[in-house]
Amino acid sequence: MHRVTITLDDDLMADLDRMIEQHGYQNRSEAIRDFARAGMQQAAQDAGKAGGECVAALVYVYDHAARDLSSRLVNNFHNHHDLSLATLHVHLDNDNCMEITALKGRTADVQHLADHVIAERGVRYGRVVMIPTDPGAKPSAARKRPAHRHT
């Protein structure tokens, strides 16, 4: 481990402390390590440089009445059956459906499939969240966080 000293303005420090509290981190160092890893992973994904294996959640909202969209979406997933693990379909209202698909595979392949699904005409919103699963990727250290309580 290396010790690093950083300077943060008061507003950013207050925001960081709120995030630490909300997420249940034990200390600032633990939080900053996780935030740095997440930021680097997102930057690599955005730049198309993320390599290796990942798991992902693809979330998208679409117009269920859009011409042939359901068929095109099914074809996308059938053409990439090796990546798709499961899909949850939710009827939001008369016009909109949301699907959440769990994916697993090479990061580039998962991103390619996600991009194609999100780009389909009739898909109104889409986002993919990838988590690396490489043996070489450093996972977050096990944390002793308080369990979330549901009241």
Written as one letter, the residue type at 83 is L
The answer to whether 80 is annotated as binding is no
Work out the number of other CB atoms within 10 angstroms of the CB of residue 17: 13
CA atoms of 92 and 59, how far apart (whole Å): 13
For residues 49 and 125, the answer to whether their CB atoms sit within 8 Å is no
The answer to whether 23 is annotated as binding is no
- What spatial distance separates the first Cα and last Cα of the chain, rounded to whole Å? 39
| Nearest by Cα to 99 from 113, 86, 116 | 86
Classify 25 as helix, strand or coil: coil
CA atoms of 26 and 7, how far apart (whole Å): 21
Paired tokens of 113: 């499939």
The answer to whether 97 is annotated as binding is yes
Binding-site entries for Ni(2+): 78, 89, 91, 97
Binding-site entries: 78, 89, 91, 97
